[in-house]
Chains A and B, each alone.
Chain A
Amino acid sequence: MAATVATKPGKGRRKTAEDGTRPVSAKLSWRIRLRRDKSLILMTLPAVVLLLVFNYAPLFGLVTAFQYYDPLVGVWHSSWAGLDQFRMLFQDPLFWGALRNTLFLSLVQLVLFFPIPVVLALLLNTVMNERLRNFVQSVVYLPHFFSWVLTVTIFQQMLGGAGVLNQFLRQHNVGTWDFMTNPHTFALLITSQAVWKEAGWGIIVFLAALAAIDNNLYEASAVDGAGRWRRMWHITLPGLRGVIVLMLVLRLGNALTVGFEQFLIQRNAVGHSAADVLDTFSFYYGIATNNYSYGAAAGLFKSVISLLLILGANKLAHAFGEDGLYRK
């Protein structure tokens, strides 16, 4: 570091990535550094203010979880509840139902959703024709940009009671099958909607990882007599390992987040016992019933467990020798 400074004497007043090494900065008084960087700091201000108001202030709002919050008197004057809200929460069968649904849906999505983008990417990677490949990519990325309202509407028009599938079944006098309102197959419905909307977009990351694999590895192993499947097993899959672990870590860290709008839209159709998840719980039993403290307690429970999951998942990734979400 010191050597770099010595080879680069005064290079103008302003410090940039090139010349401003830390020892120099440390020597400058904060007054000079502030004058030098004041525009940069000013630029970050709008974003920081918005985050302070809409992300950090709500963190303090979490005290409502320990209160009997009354909107008429506000946070400052509501009476304290201690852990009463949590006690009630843990005795509430509706809460356990929502937690069970969340975990179950998360598991189903992990098993049925997660492999699809990987397989699609592998498949697409073997398509030699660039034009076809680009066409497939443009088509499968598209639903990512649709709203959940639109996605659910489309599913309803295809598979709902009056949808295309049931039109066909009715015209051929086979019994109808209403996928959209059946609470028993709701997990499948939710997952297939998620696959339809997001699986295509999910392949982008894997395609990039595939493109980064050194072609010489394939050539060398082919020359050594490895067939197409052996090459996939010994070169392609190890090449994807890092990304797959990263995606698994993200999924695991978000195990309590299974989608929100999707459930709001379809709750009426399948009933609350199938469609309540932790996220919607806060909405229906907190905001919709003016029972704010109760909803906040449920939200806090979810936040804490989620944070633990994210940190735990990262530990796991590091144990596998991968970077995970952050390094070290």
Chain B
Amino acid sequence: MSMATTLRLRRNPAAAAPTRAPWEEPPTAIGQAGKGVVLTVVIAAVLVPLWVVVLTSLSTTGAIGRAGGLVIWPDGLTLDAYRQMLTNDQVTRALVVSLLVTLVGTLVSMVVSVLCAYGLSRSRSMGHRIILMVLILTMFVSGGLIPTYLVVTGLGGYGQYWALILPSAVSVFNILVLRSFYSSTSAELIDAAKMDGAGDWRTLWSVVLPTSKAVTAVITLFYAVGYWNSFFNVMLYMPVDSSKWPLQYVLLEYVQQGMNMPGSVNNGFGTGHAQTAPLSLQMAVVVLTLVPILMVYPFMQKHFRTGVLTGAVKG
């Protein structure tokens, strides 16, 4: 938080100049250069692959042919791959499935977690120690993959969408993060609400939630990203029915195809191997899985410190 505040204080461009404490040595040229090189490499390692993927998804078949595969410099752009992708039943259905699972899952997770976190946040309430133990114990012992699988399939979860949501709907870690925020909501504020006759539900909704927007946003993002990115539960619970696959699993199929036939993507572009999707289409699917994350990222980013640190340090 302090960093964000300093940034805001330094809106004035004159003050934006780096401030160095008077006792600190001036930086050495070698040190600065080394730092610059390392930071450039680190940033390039993240951004260059993304650039190549996005550019290739936008490139014409000709450009891909001339580049001998992935395109590094723009050389003929087209939206063909995206047009093709959005008319591909498999991809559009998977997109809808992914969006719905993410939306419903995040909603379920947030409702359950916020309620539980608030229920445990009032110190000395009846039974909160025992319930807290029930929660924390799950972080130390787990039945593991097979017993969980047997429980979910035993409840009829095979091939059902709820099997992608409910088994992983509760993250104890996230509940503990929320709880530590709610516990630190000022007692006066809550007392005031109580004096005005608000019950616990009302207090949570009109006092606690509005004063903890940042952490709510971060935890929502964590849950949503978890649902959007998950694919193993699909592999477990609905590996057969391809009409129910979410986007990540469809992407996985593309990856697996590429992996099973090394080099086939290189010259083929769908001509050599009928089942291999053209490179630009593959990359368009990659971009599609990226887009939602890139869309919410800028809004969430400033809250990360809040969320992660409470979890790591206080929790």
Q: 0/1 per residue, A106-136, Cβ < 8 Å to B?
A: 0000000000000010010011111110101
B254 to chain A, nearest CB (A): 8
Contact partner of A18 (CB less than 8 A), chosen from B67, B154, B187, B313, is: B187
In angstroms, Cα B259 to Cα A152, docked, is: 10
CB–CB A64/B265 < 8 A: no
CB–CB B190/A295 < 8 A: no
CB–CB B52/A158 < 8 A: yes
Q: 0/1 per residue, B137-159, Cβ < 8 Å to A?
A: 01011111111111110110000
Residue of A nearest to B201 (CB): A39
Contact partner of A54 (CB less than 8 A), chosen from B16, B127, B167, is: B167
Contacts of A175 in B (CB 8 A): none
In angstroms, Cα B261 to Cα A232, docked, is: 51
Would you call B91 an interface residue if the criterion is a C-beta within 8 Å of the partner chain's C-beta atoms?
A: no
Would you call B286 an interface residue if the criterion is a C-beta within 8 Å of the partner chain's C-beta atoms?
A: yes
CB–CB A223/B115 < 8 A: no
Would you call A97 an interface residue if the criterion is a C-beta within 8 Å of the partner chain's C-beta atoms?
A: no
B111 to chain A, nearest CB (A): 7
CB–CB B7/A134 < 8 A: yes
CB–CB A147/B248 < 8 A: yes
Q: 0/1 per residue, A47-75, Cβ < 8 Å to B?
A: 11011111111111110100001000011
Contact partner of B313 (CB less than 8 A), chosen from A163, A208, A286, is: A208
CB–CB A156/B170 < 8 A: no
Greatest chain B CB density within 10 A among A50, A127, A149, A205 is at A149
CB–CB B147/A62 < 8 A: yes
Would you call A162 an interface residue if the criterion is a C-beta within 8 Å of the partner chain's C-beta atoms?
A: yes
CB–CB B151/A296 < 8 A: no
Contacts of B255 in A (CB 8 A): 149, 152-153, 156, 265
Q: 0/1 per residue, B148-183, Cβ < 8 Å to A?
A: 111110110000000000111110100100000001
B residues 210-269 touching A (CB-CB < 8 Å): 225, 228-232, 235-236, 248-249, 251-252, 254-256, 258-260, 262-266
Contacts of B301 in A (CB 8 A): 138, 141
Would you call B270 an interface residue if the criterion is a C-beta within 8 Å of the partner chain's C-beta atoms?
A: no
In angstroms, Cα B32 to Cα A228, docked, is: 14
Q: How many residues belonging to B are interface residues under a CB distance threshold of 8 Å? A: 120
A12-B194, A131-B16, A261-B231 known; A59-B147 Cβ under 8 A:
yes
Contacts of A126 in B (CB 8 A): 35
In angstroms, Cα B145 to Cα A48, docked, is: 20
Contact partner of A47 (CB less than 8 A), chosen from B149, B175, B200, B264, is: B175
CB–CB B42/A282 < 8 A: no
CB–CB B126/A162 < 8 A: no
B residues 261-312 touching A (CB-CB < 8 Å): 262-266, 283, 286, 289-290, 293, 297-298, 301, 304-305, 308-309, 312
Would you call B134 an interface residue if the criterion is a C-beta within 8 Å of the partner chain's C-beta atoms?
A: yes
Contacts of A60 in B (CB 8 A): 143, 147
Would you call B87 an interface residue if the criterion is a C-beta within 8 Å of the partner chain's C-beta atoms?
A: no
Residue of B nearest to A154 (CB): B49
In angstroms, Cα B76 to Cα A119, docked, is: 41
Contact partner of A43 (CB less than 8 A), chosen from B118, B155, B231, is: B118
In angstroms, Cα B266 to Cα A164, docked, is: 10
CB–CB B144/A58 < 8 A: yes
Would you call B93 an interface residue if the criterion is a C-beta within 8 Å of the partner chain's C-beta atoms?
A: no
CB–CB B131/A130 < 8 A: no
A309 to chain B, nearest CB (A): 11
A102 to chain B, nearest CB (A): 14
CB–CB A48/B131 < 8 A: yes
Question: What are 18 sample pairs from A and B whose C-beta atoms fall under 8 A apart?
Answer: A16-B187, A16-B190, A47-B113, A52-B134, A53-B155, A53-B166, A55-B142, A58-B142, A60-B147, A64-B147, A146-B290, A147-B228, A200-B46, A208-B309, A208-B312, A260-B232, A287-B145, A292-B149
Residues of A within 8 A of B (CB): 12, 14-18, 20-22, 25, 30, 33-34, 36-37, 39-44, 46-48, 50-62, 64, 69, 74-75, 120, 123, 126-132, 134, 136, 138-143, 145-150, 152-154, 156-158, 160-164, 167, 170-171, 178, 180-181, 196, 200, 204-205, 208, 211, 215, 218-219, 222-223, 227-228, 246, 260-261, 264-266, 268-269, 279, 282-283, 286-287, 292, 295-296, 299-300, 302-303, 307, 310
